[in-house]
Structure 1
Amino acid sequence: MEHAKQVELIHRVLEHLRTGTTHMVEEESRLPVAPYLQPERYEAERRLFRKLPLLVGHASQLAEPGDYLTHDATGTPLLLCRTASGELTCFLNVCRHRGTRLVREEQGRHKQAFVCPYHGWTYDSSGRLRGVPDEVGFPSRPSETVGLVRVPMVERLGLLWVTLEPGGPDVDSFLGPVLGELAGFGLERHVAHQIHRFEKRLNWKIAIEIFLEAYHLKYAHRESIYPIFFNNVGLVDRLPPHIRCIFPKRTIQELAGAPEQGWELRKHANVLFQLFPNVLLLIQPDHVSISTVHPLGPDRTEYRTFWLLPQRPETEKAARYWQKNMDILVGAVMEDMTMGESIQAGLSSGANEFMRLARFEQGLRYFRDELDAYLAQ
């Protein structure tokens, strides 16, 4: 993010603090409850996911030839790897013999060949079938004609994006203005660290919407992160189809009257990019956390997070420092997920036909408007 944009956003926050206000739209609104419950809506959203660029990892997870990563949250088994020539590739993680899952491990390094655990068909990192036991039984000689099925994958700013079906937008046009803002954070120079994954009993949209407002901080996070942030103060801006949220820390008040050339937004606010449809990319003072939300059912969601650090922790002190930061985030997320599961149960009760959104909960409205528009195409 360019410095001029950071200064502009900080000025907006400081003005809200000066006047005791927050960023709001003109009118309150309502969201119907039915889309959080309907199986047919869930199926439509899953189909939409298959046509949009989906974030599946970071290039540092495949740093050297033979490094690989499996990913199943999209509903399609994927195998990401770096070939012997250094190319980043993605395949369906499926043996071409009888459909067995080829690689069971979540991640590995320096793999020279992938061997099917069922009959031993062997593939190299470029997806070519290199060995078929007793191939005399296959007059068609599959080793000469068969390979793993490729899935289109591109790297942008170190982030790896796949598209499962043709017909959707390309990554560059889809990310649009967000690419320019993210470029200044040097994501491609970071290294991925850990993966934290869990499932919760809530609709995936709730798991996104929880993070698009600061109205709940004083109550849901009273003992955890609320002492660091202001309750219900923030900026929520559309970068269609994405959203950028700025949630200021109390330290941002120190910038009032200080020279603008020293202002740095990430030191005094959480900068959250909600990348449509299911990514929450959080810029923090010295690292980045990236969470993806995947629907598993109308009321089941997988939430996974990995962290991007400026360098791998090589000392025990560094490991403790980063672990403390990760524990703070995970703790706050778990508080949010508890509220999210409560929301899902409440919506399922039939008590409400719609949810009421305040003028300062516009992030939820923006997100749902984009989702509804894509589903209508």
Structure 2
Amino acid sequence: MQSFDDPRPVAGEDRCPGPSTRDIILGDGCDVPDALIAESYAFLGDGEIAYDRYISSDAMNAELEGMWSRVWQWACRVEHIQEPGDFYTYDIGRYSVIVTRTQAGEIKAYRNACLHRGTQLKPSGSSGAANDLRCPFHGWTWNLDGSLKNIPCRWDFPHVQDEEYRLPEVSVDTWGGFVFVNLDPDCAPLADHLGPLADHFSGRWDLTDRRIRLHIQKELPTNWKAAQEAFLEAYHVYETHAQALATAGDANAQYDIFSDTVTRFVHTIGTQSPHYEGEQTEQEIFDKLRLSEPAVVPEGKSARSVAADILRRQIGEASGVDLDSYSDSEMLDSIEYHLFPNMCLFPGVSLPMIYRFRPHEEDPGRTIFDLLFLEMVPEGTPMDYPPEPIMLGVDTSYADAPGMDPGLGAVYDQDTDNLALQYRGFKGSKKRGQTLGNYQEARIRRFHMTLDDYLAQA
């Protein structure tokens, strides 16, 4: 044990000088949800993360067999399967799942493979409506509840017993308007996986009644873990988003490890980065936020409070939602939760994103990145079907997606433009692992620890 007079620093205790995220949020003078100012960090070690787990086909196969086949993961939104017969296919590596709503109104999920000769019943990436699940090869057909409906030339299959040829079910559950699936028939309940996330996202952070405004799907030239990790820390803002240092509290950001499966960071907007050289007035900070509406910051007010007031009014008028009770932090800040293995959720108002990172088939060097904007709607708004995903290639800018804010699209380009360089570095580096910060990159370490737990139990 380290003694009180030991001059060595205690690992994981160092923080950036200056006000903490919690200090800044409480300094706004707003009522905030308890979850927003909760703190939960523990030092998790400082060993390297091997590059081979990003580039190796063996590592990819181990994840598919030991983790993806046994973990809860979100497949679609409830809006995708509103009516009996609606279906949505979800693919992860070699696995494909059909999510559908039965005639009785139940949500069911099945392995997407015919029990005759294995053909997928529905093409990967497809969705729509159907009265049954019919194989396009020979016409074997199942009812929406998974029971066998028809075999052409049934006389030739006396050995097929109907009950033995029900479609194999996949575990399914819902939370926050998302449909989750788990390929493991013996999996623990979804609630166990969600852990503290369910409590944090109750009340006004409940995502059930939000709606998808925009869904972008982009291929990234890297491993799915590396793509995800680019969004799990604000440490990269200093170099990747240097233009934001005047208005983003990057190094002040708070990092929380709430459970094996749930982590979070909060970094403030409308505050000056500790890296920014020189002092600014609140008016100068506000002007650099580049809101669509100019304003004067009155004496005694902050850039944050003025910006939050403008956004409350603008977004409230556009959405028809009363935002008066939402704090400045909820209106402005980057509040990002991560749910293992591949989901990022933002409960804030002006940054209402959901991320998902999946391996592209079984290629360790290709990733599908789903970027959703999940926006508030007035209470009682009828459910409608979400927009189709806009597909973007590796070299296409996010700003080219119809409906995407060009300025925000440019920021996402900055986020992912480094990924190909990093992946090439993984392959060629003499040093064979990542060196992580004890605090700012702790979420990455927790993610790998949980992944290792799954692989060890496989």
Deviation of the 1:192 alpha carbon: 3.5
The number of residues matched between the two structures is 354
**Bigger mean CA deviation after superposition, 284-293 or 239-248:** 284-293
* Residue 304 (str. 1) matches residue 370 (str. 2): yes
* Structure 1: runs of 5+ lacking an equivalent: 1-8, 18-22, 315-321
Deviation of the 1:86 alpha carbon: 0.9
Alpha-carbon distance between aligned partners in 2 of 1:353 and 1:188, rounded to the nearest angstrom: 43
Deviation of the 1:122 alpha carbon: 2.2
Amino acid at match of 1:292: R
Amino acid at match of 2:62: A
From 176, 183, 200, the equivalent of 2:220 is 200
Residue 165 of structure 2 aligns to a residue whose secondary structure is coil
Amino acid at match of 1:290: I
Where do 1:207-222 residues align within 5 Å? 207-222=227-242
TM-score (normalizing by structure 1): 0.81
Deviation string for 1:265-311 (max 9, x for gaps)? 32121211111121112234157322221233333322223332334
**Preserved contact between residue 28 and residue 358 of structure 1 (Cα < 8 Å):** no
* Residue 29 (str. 1) matches residue 41 (str. 2): no
Where do 1:174-193 residues align within 5 Å? 174-184=193-203, 185-193=205-213
Where do 1:28-47 residues align within 5 Å? 29-34=46-51, 35-46=53-64, 47=66
From 101, 105, 109, the equivalent of 2:120 is 101
Deviation of the 1:154 alpha carbon: 0.7
Alpha-carbon distance between aligned partners in 1 of 2:151 and 2:97, rounded to the nearest angstrom: 22
Alpha-carbon distance between aligned partners in 2 of 1:58 and 1:11, rounded to the nearest angstrom: 33
**Preserved contact between residue 66 and residue 112 of structure 1 (Cα < 8 Å):** yes
From 312, 330, 353, the equivalent of 1:266 is 330
The aligned counterpart of 1:370 is 450
The aligned counterpart of 1:59 is 78
From 237, 240, 246, the equivalent of 2:266 is 246
Amino acid at match of 1:302: I
Alpha-carbon distance between aligned partners in 1 of 2:95 and 2:167, rounded to the nearest angstrom: 14
**Preserved contact between residue 82 and residue 125 of structure 1 (Cα < 8 Å):** yes
* Residue 275 (str. 1) matches residue 339 (str. 2): yes
Alpha-carbon distance between aligned partners in 2 of 1:326 and 1:164, rounded to the nearest angstrom: 37
Alpha-carbon distance between aligned partners in 1 of 2:92 and 2:409, rounded to the nearest angstrom: 19
* Residue 353 (str. 1) matches residue 432 (str. 2): yes
Q: RMSD over aligned Cα, in angstroms?
A: 3.4
**Preserved contact between residue 189 and residue 310 of structure 1 (Cα < 8 Å):** yes
Residue 336 of structure 1 aligns to a residue whose secondary structure is helix
**Bigger mean CA deviation after superposition, 85-94 or 110-119:** 110-119
| Closer, same or farther: CA 154–253 of 1 in aligned 2, 3 Å | same
The aligned counterpart of 2:289 is none
The aligned counterpart of 2:291 is none
Deviation string for 1:31-82 (max 9, x for gaps)? 2333333333333222222111111111111111111101112431110111
**Bigger mean CA deviation after superposition, 139-148 or 188-197:** 139-148
Amino acid at match of 1:164: L
Deviation of the 1:107 alpha carbon: 4.1
From 86, 91, 95, the equivalent of 2:105 is 86
| Closer, same or farther: CA 368–140 of 1 in aligned 2, 3 Å | closer
**Bigger mean CA deviation after superposition, 36-45 or 115-124:** 36-45
The aligned counterpart of 1:133 is 152
**Preserved contact between residue 255 and residue 263 of structure 1 (Cα < 8 Å):** no
| Closer, same or farther: CA 70–193 of 1 in aligned 2, 3 Å | farther
* Structure with higher helix content: 1
Deviation of the 1:358 alpha carbon: 3.2
Alpha-carbon distance between aligned partners in 1 of 2:117 and 2:405, rounded to the nearest angstrom: 41
Alpha-carbon distance between aligned partners in 1 of 2:134 and 2:347, rounded to the nearest angstrom: 39
Residue 95 of structure 1 aligns to a residue whose secondary structure is coil
Alpha-carbon distance between aligned partners in 2 of 1:140 and 1:25, rounded to the nearest angstrom: 58
Amino acid at match of 2:443: G
Residue 192 of structure 1 aligns to a residue whose secondary structure is strand
| Closer, same or farther: CA 110–27 of 1 in aligned 2, 3 Å | closer
**Preserved contact between residue 81 and residue 90 of structure 1 (Cα < 8 Å):** yes
Deviation string for 1:101-121 (max 9, x for gaps)? 111263444421232111122
TM-score (normalizing by structure 2): 0.68
| Closer, same or farther: CA 282–262 of 1 in aligned 2, 3 Å | closer
| Closer, same or farther: CA 262–198 of 1 in aligned 2, 3 Å | closer
The aligned counterpart of 1:4 is none
**Preserved contact between residue 170 and residue 185 of structure 2 (Cα < 8 Å):** no
Alpha-carbon distance between aligned partners in 2 of 1:299 and 1:343, rounded to the nearest angstrom: 11
Alpha-carbon distance between aligned partners in 2 of 1:264 and 1:305, rounded to the nearest angstrom: 24
**Preserved contact between residue 157 and residue 187 of structure 1 (Cα < 8 Å):** yes
**Preserved contact between residue 33 and residue 352 of structure 1 (Cα < 8 Å):** no
